[in-house]
Structure formats: structure tokens, C-alpha cells
Amino acid sequence: MKFTFSIFTLLLLVSFGAIAQQVPNEPMQANYTGMVTDVTYVPSIASRMSELTPAKVDKNEMGDKRSLGPTVIIGKDRQVQDDYHVRNRHEMEASVRVAPPIVVFDAAQSSSQPTDPSIAVGPNHLFVVFNTGFTIWDKTGTTQLLGQTSPNPAIFPSGGCCDLTVSYDNLAQRWVLSFLGSGAQIAVSDGPDPLTAGWNVYNISQINDYQKLSVWSDGYYLTDNTSSSNRVWAMERDEMLLGNPAGIQGFNLPGIVTSGFYSPQAFSITDNTHPAAGGATIVYLQDDAWSGVSTDHMKYWTIDVDWATPGNSTVSANTQIPLAPFISVFDGGSFSNLSQPGGGIAIDALQATIMNQAHFRKFGTHNSAVFNFVVDTDASGGELAGIRWMEFRQPADNTPWTLFQSGTYTAPDGRHAWHASLAMDGSGNIGMGYSSMSGPGTPTTVRVSSYYTGRFDGDPLGTMTVIEEVIANGNANIPGLRYGDYSKIDVDPADDTTFWFINEYMNSGRKNVVGAFQLAPPGPDDIGISQITTPVSGVLTAAEVVTVDIRNYGSNNITNPMLQYTVDGGPAEVEMYTGTIAAGTTEAYTFTATADLSGVGPFVIEARTNLAGDTNAGNDGLTKVVQQQLGGYCQPMATAGCNLDGIKMFVLNTITADDGGNGCNTEPIGSPQGYADRTALSTDLSNQAGGNVYTLQAQQNWTGGPGVEALSVWIDFDDSGTFEPSERLISGEFFQADNVLEDFTLTIPTGSALGPHRLRAKAIDTSAPGDILDPCTDFDFGEVQDYTVVINDILSVQDQDIIASDFVVLTKENNQFEISLISAFEGVASISIYNVMGQRLAFNNLEKQNDRFVYKLDMSYAGTGVYFIKMGDRSSGTFKTGKIIVK
């Protein structure tokens, strides 16, 4: 091992921060033109149901190029004031109540990190996609018309991996999907029913990564994250709608500057009113924290394609739109940004990204486009995520765009708000869905949850006047730092009024939740149960107190409403809330009648309001399941036996439990069938970031094929004798084969309690009765096994390739540094730069170049002093460290 410093006088001509091509800011022709002649027709899903396979669930962090992260210049953006729009908040911000959601349901479940949820809305269907699969629902959210299905071979016959996206071409009444694999594949339906329509599939090898698809008058447009060149791809929409060979053209964006990650957005038409051909608009934020950017602003370009004579196709020079200063950099560009409640893993804020999607709408007097990105509204050392949103307008098709309004939205109670998507309805009202969770100063615990806000046409500019409404609250922390990457809002073509929003949260597993809402006044008389506070799972008695929260969603005050609750569908306990619940408020109520929960359980408690004339009965009731836990940890039973089901082999770190065959593992003798107490077996695990990710291996022997047998794993970190949803680290992930030891990813939350804790693993046949997400309930076929894990704060086994590496720092002129790790390590390396107070100032993941990883560090804006560098393997926590001196 060697660690060396060298001094060079070579002038560094181009800083690493401006790694995008230095394309002159002048109009350019297309830099690629061609034809897509590889077109495959795929018959309808309905005609091939027997050929379909369940969606695969990738348990690992997605390997997209976004994971390499952005590059920033330390000290270049020295903002000392909090976000301008937050400091100048309009008095009408969050002042108008609207109706609660019309529909809320969990549309998909995936263990991918992230799940990449997206949605498109047609006249009668909701088409929901996630990273590796899709599903189709009706608009009630109660009927799943197609279960979670793999894109291959259902729509894409040539395979593929991930980054599935969907749009609905409203004018043509066609569905348009994109999927990565051997480049990108684009599928266009030949009708509006996604189940009965066939698909024309185009293979486009030139597209690389993190594609975002948009619908425009003269083409389908994809932005592409690629290090070779920064391109936008246009595809010939008219021919693709006919299933014919189609033209494709690629364009560089003149004068663009990136942070190393490339995520512009092309405007996408919301409804069925199209502008004239040409003028396809691309937007991208430009942060003055990046090299080559002097002020915070937006850039936009317009693309005019000529499909008949491709040599006439052009992309414009960029136009700069000044914005109020913003901070779009979190934690030096790393993915570990927003701390979750209770010390959970800090998750990705999705920085340097125009969020999906940039929606366009043509009105009688002007054209509008709305879009957003995340900002840090706190200019101090802390972080508070907010949403910088804006509306561009142009007076007519193919005329210049100007900034009509811009604002920064922050959530109430000091919560983070990010991962947003916004669109306009037919009246010009803006609806915006977003993610939110507790921030540093939030007085209560709010897990990652889904919300919406909005504004009405004519409201004060730059102001989200609508008081936020919750779509769904999460019940656990995200079990990994990757979150998102997509969310999406669409406007229903059936009424041009209803907004449909999808994003990611935890609800007894990693779910994609859909909420439909309208920006409409609340109904006059509308109350419902919003939460059942007590009882909770534990040692339950014959006299359990039932406490609920009553929300007045309506515009009228409600006096003395009647309430009720039932247990397991039994007789209702009906009581009156005495008093008035003011419009828009929530009140708690404790029933006088207690509940007898002394039996075995589980118990299903349903509470509801009984208001005569309630204008929205859909939100009256709420259901909660509580578990009885007698005599220590619950011991569920395989009521029908184990057979080939359950865990036939279990491996975690130093634990190896080989059962050597089939049948039930019941330990000790006298335990319930299929339950094994193996807490005498223990292993040490780390809660330290960089060393807290483990491969858990398990085997089942049932030959039913993938998507049947599933595994969940909990660790009782608080040693309460119960396994709460927040303690579930693997959530119903499917085995893919039988008689094979398969890998599952187990991530120990950073900061989790030290010492010994009980680990529970449950594997069952999900096609038979049983709940894979419940640690205590019985099931037909499967097994439950308990082990002991000892959590410590010591990093896991080090990577020997990193230990043997040479770490070289070259000091160049003007405080420029070239940092190299010469290594046999073949994974993705990471680098962090810290100040003497231990604050991380910059972060990036690096791909190997020949025999080394190289990072060019620009410290010309940094203050004088000593800085520390850490470079190595984040997954094993093995690093080389050194220091530099900035003069």
C-alpha cells in the first residue's frame, strides 16, 4: 500500500464539475438520425394470460447510472439566507380547504430500491408500473384487472431489466411504455384498452439509462442519462401509432452544464389538445454550486424535427430563465440525505433532478407547463427539503417561454416535502402530490407519507393556497437509502378534473400508493374515523380501551355525532361524541364500552361514524388488526403442515441452520407445528453505515414456481416482545426457485439499538391462507424460525482489495486535486470529502477506469485549511483515508 502526494504545475483547463460536453450555445442539427426498423407486434395481454409471469422483485439497490450521483464544487454556492420564497411566504399559502381524496389504495408492492412508481390514466383504466413490473386497475381502486406482471414477455419479448415507465397518449388513445434492456424498448398499444390491445414494440439500442418519456405533437421524446453525450431522443410518433418503421433523431443540448448526472425533462402534453408540430421543449435546472454555472437559473431548449428531411431538424440554443436563488445540493451530492424518524436510514432527496413529469397544457389564450425539483430551504448546517415549482407560459405555439410564476412549497410542522409531481386540470388549477415526513423540528413522528396540495387559477402567484390533505401515512421507515426515483401525477381524461398521483411509502411492506383527488370545496357534512389509537398489539385483556380520532372533512361544524366500533364483526358498540367538531379539525374520543380482547386473536377492530346525511360515506370507517401476545413472543402455527414449504436452510453471517430435508421444523418438542425457537444460535451484525448491509440466504423446497413462496424477516430492536411493522426488514419477498439457497438483502438500520435481539423469519405458501406480513398469525403451509442477532457499532469484514490498493493524491495548481485509487476492486467505489468538524461536503460514486478509480476535486472555492478524504467500498465499509491542504 502506498499513499503519495505530488505537486504539478499543469494548468487544469476543465474542472471536473463541468463534465458535460462544452457544446457551444448555438443552434445545432441533430447529431444522430436513423430509422427504427426492428418492430415486433405483440398480441394482447388478454389473449396470452397463460404465458405471463409474475413481476420479479429485485431486492438489491438498482444499478442505474443515477446511483453514481452528482458532482458539486465545495464552497462555490455560499448562500447564507434561507430559501427566498419561504422567507417571503404569501399570507394565502395553505389557507383554502378542499375535499379529501376520492380514492386511496395500494396499487403495487416491490422490494426494489427504489421502486420507481409511475402511473398513466386512460378512460377506464389505471396502468401502474414499478421498476420491474406492472399492474392494471379499474378506477375504483378495488378491482385489480391484472396482477403484478413481468413486462417480459407480457409486452416486451426481448427481455430487459428495469426502469419501466408509462404514459397515455390522450389524443391517439394509446398507451406508451418504455423499458430498459439492450438500450431501450418502446411499446405503443393499438387501442385504449391495455388488456385487449396489441403492442408494437420498438428496440432502440442508443438509449442508455434513466429514461423519461414524454408525449408531444410530432414525436415521443426520451431524455437519457449518458456519460458519452448528453442527448434527447425524438421518435416518429405518427409512424409508431401505425406500427410502421419509424424515424429516430438524437440531439445534444447546446450550453448545458450538469453535475455529472443528467436529468432534463421534455414537456409532455396532459390532455388531447396538441400544439402545432415543432417546439418540443426541454428544461433543466442549473445550480451555481456546479462548475460553469454563475447564477441559479433554468435553461430551456426547443427541438424542431423534420421527419421528411432529417438534415433540417434542429435544436435551439439554450435560453436562460433567472430564478430566485436556490440550494439544490444535499450532503455534497450523496444519496443519504433526509433522516427518517427514530434514527432510521437517511434517504435520497433526489437532487439535481427535474421530477417526473413536466406537464404541458394548451389553453385558448396561452400555453402553460409546470414542473418542480427539490431544494434545501435551510441555508444553515441543517436540512429541510422543500419543492421549488414553477409555471412557464408562452403566448402561442412555437413562441418564447417566460417564467409566469414560481414558488417553494414547504410542508406544515417543519416536515420535509419532496418527490413531487404537478399538473394542471382543464380549468387551470394546479394539483401537486408529494412525499413528506418528519423534519428536524417536527414535534410528532411522521413516516414517509403521501400528500397533496394545489392552487386555483387566479390565486396569488407563486402560492400553493390549498391546505394539504393526506393520501396515506406510512407506518415504517424506508429500509434503504434509495427512494423514488419516480413519482407521477396524471389528469383523468374522463373528466379533465381528477388528479391521480402515485408515490412510494411503507405500509406493512414497500408499497406504491395511489390517491385520486379534485381541487373542489369539501362537502357540507363529512366526518370519518382517521385513526384508531388504541388498543395496540401486546398482552391484551378483557377490558381494552378503544380510542379513535374523528376528522371533520366537511365545511359545516358537526355536533354530537354517533360513533361505533365492532370486534371481529360482532355487535356494534354505539356511542355519542358529545360536543362540536369544527370544520377541518380532528378530535379524539374514547369509548366508554371497553373491548374484550382476552382470547387468542388476532382481533379486527372496525370503527366508524354514523352521521345521517354524510356527503362522503367512503371515509367513514377504519379497520385495525391487533395481536394477542401471551407468555412472551407469539408462536404461530402451520395449521395444515409444512411439507416442502417454509425454511429448509437458513444462513446469516455465522449462522448456518441446515435442516437436511423436508417436513416441519418444530423446536423444541411441544412447540406449535412449524415453529422453531433457535435463539441459541446467534451472530454479530453492525449498525454502522457502510457495513450494515448483509446477504441473508434461505431455501424452500416447494416446486410451485416463482411468486408463490415468500419470506419476511423482523428484528425486535426494542425488545418489547412484539415485532412492529417498523421492525420488518424483509417484507414478503418471493423465492424464485425451489431447492436452491437464495439471496435476500438484510439492512440493519443505522443507529439501531445495540445488544442482543430476537430475529424472526417467516416463510409461507402465499397461495394458501396466511399473512406473510404478520409475524404472529397462523398459516396453512410454511415455517417460522427465531434466532438471536447481536447488534454492534463495529464495521463489518473489510474488503481486502481495498486494503491492498494504492491511494494517490496529486496536488495541482489553483487548489485542484486528482485523487486515484489503484485497485483490484471491481465494484463501484465511493469518495467523500469532509472538513475538520466532520461535516461531509461532497460525495460521489465512481466507476472504474482501467486499473483505477479517479476523482478530480475542485477546491478553488473552498476556504483555506485541512480537509479529509475517504475513498473505498461503501458496502463493506472499507476505505483509504488521507488529507489535503487548501491554500
pLDDT digits (tens, 9 = 90+) for 468-485: 999 999 988 888 788 988
Beta strands in 253-343 (DSSP E): 265-266, 268-269, 280-286, 297-304, 314-315, 319-322, 338-340
Nearest to 345 by CA among 639, 74, 649, 750: 750
Prediction pTM value: 0.77
pLDDT digits (tens, 9 = 90+) for 678-734: 887 888 888 887 778 888 989 999 888 888 899 999 999 988 888 999 999 999 999
Nearest to 128 by CA among 113, 111, 145: 145
Over residues 564-576, the mean pLDDT reads: 97
Over residues 426-439, the mean pLDDT reads: 97
| pLDDT of the residue at 654 | 77
Nearest to 350 by CA among 486, 226, 257, 258: 486
Tell me whether strands 621-626 and 416-424 are parallel, antiparallel or unpaired: unpaired
| pLDDT of the residue at 227 | 58
Q: What angle do CA 618, 622, 627 make, to 5 degrees?
A: 155
Residue 490 CA to residue 175 CA, distance in Å, equals 13
| pLDDT of the residue at 20 | 37
Q: 354-374 burial by CB neighbour count: b if 16+ within 10 A, else e?
A: bbbbbbbbbeeeebbbbbbbb
Over residues 377-396, the mean pLDDT reads: 95
User: Which domains does the chain possess?
Assistant: 29-517 (2.130.10.10), 527-615 (2.60.40.10), 638-792 (2.60.40.10), 800-886 (2.60.40.2550)
pLDDT at 204 over 50: yes
| Confidence bin at 431 (pLDDT 50/70/90) | very high
More confidently predicted of 43 and 353: 43
Residue 423 CA to residue 362 CA, distance in Å, equals 12
Residue 109 CA to residue 747 CA, distance in Å, equals 18
More confidently predicted of 825 and 128: 128
pLDDT at 340 over 70: yes
Answer positive or negative: Cα dihedral of 61, 66, 68, 74: negative
pLDDT digits (tens, 9 = 90+) for 504-517: 999 877 899 999 99
Count Cβ atoms within 10 A of the Cβ of residue 717 and give its class: 0-12 exposed, 13-18 middle, 19 or more buried: buried
| pLDDT of the residue at 404 | 98
Question: Residue 147: how many CB atoms within 10 A of its CB?
Answer: 14
**What DSSP designation does 813 have?**
T
Nearest to 595 by CA among 571, 629, 563: 571
Q: Are 409 and 329 in contact (CB under 8 A)?
A: no
Q: Identity (one letter) of the amino acid at 460?
A: P
| pLDDT of the residue at 537 | 78
| pLDDT of the residue at 3 | 31
Q: Identity (one letter) of the amino acid at 645?
A: D
Residue 664 CA to residue 158 CA, distance in Å, equals 41
pLDDT at 11 over 60: no
Q: Which residues pair with 407 in a beta bridge?
A: 389
Nearest to 834 by CA among 876, 878, 789, 886: 886
**What phi and psi, each to the nearest 5 degrees, are found at residue 237?**
-60, -45
**What DSSP designation does 727 have?**
G
Per-position DSSP letters for 124-184, written without gaps between them: S-EEEEETTEEEEE-TTSS-EEEEEE-HHHHT-TT---EEEEEEEETTTTEEEEEEESSSE
DSSP, collapsed to helix, strand or coil, labels residue 442 as coil
Residue 458 CA to residue 401 CA, distance in Å, equals 20
Residue 192 CA to residue 172 CA, distance in Å, equals 9
Q: Are 357 and 119 in contact (CB under 8 A)?
A: no
| pLDDT of the residue at 12 | 24
C-alpha distance from residue 190 to each of 129, 203, 384, 400 (Å):
19, 17, 46, 35
| Confidence bin at 661 (pLDDT 50/70/90) | low
More confidently predicted of 437 and 880: 437
Residue 771 CA to residue 778 CA, distance in Å, equals 8
Rounded to the nearest integer, the mean pLDDT of the chain is 89
pLDDT at 857 over 70: yes
pLDDT at 751 over 90: no
Residue 320 CA to residue 298 CA, distance in Å, equals 6
| Confidence bin at 486 (pLDDT 50/70/90) | confident
| Confidence bin at 631 (pLDDT 50/70/90) | low
pLDDT at 422 over 80: yes
pLDDT digits (tens, 9 = 90+) for 98-122: 999 999 999 999 878 889 999 999 9
Q: What angle do CA 242, 247, 250 make, to 5 degrees?
A: 140
